[in-house]
Amino acid sequence: MGRSVNMANATLNKVIDDFRKLPWTRRSMSLTLSKQMTEAKSRSDFRRAKRATLNLRRGTVKKGTVKDLYKDLELDD
């Protein structure tokens, strides 16, 4: 496992180094796209949370323990 962690670190370091070598306009564009993707994911997460809250209020979600979940899964077979 130690070797794969070292390889992952080496790969990440190479990506960071390569990114730093890009011209400023490319780095800026990359950061802008990254920010837009993060914001889109945040909006998506917000919509999912809002939907989950609504479903909870409606009573359309099941609540229980992990044991209850396993029981429900066994009933579905």
Phi, psi of 15 (to 5 degrees): -60, -45
Q: For each successive 10 residues of the chain (77 residues), what is the average pLDDT?
A: 75 94 96 96 97 94 89 81
DSSP the chain: -HHHHHHHHHHHHHHHHHHHHS-HHHHHHHHHHHHHHHHHHHHHHHHHHHHHHHHHHHT-S----HHHHHHHHHHH-
Q: Is-contact 30 22, C-beta < 8 A?
A: yes
Which residues constitute the domain of residue 14? 2-76
Residue 2: its pLDDT value, please?
63
Number of domains in the chain: 1
Residue 77: its pLDDT value, please?
64
pTM value is 0.56
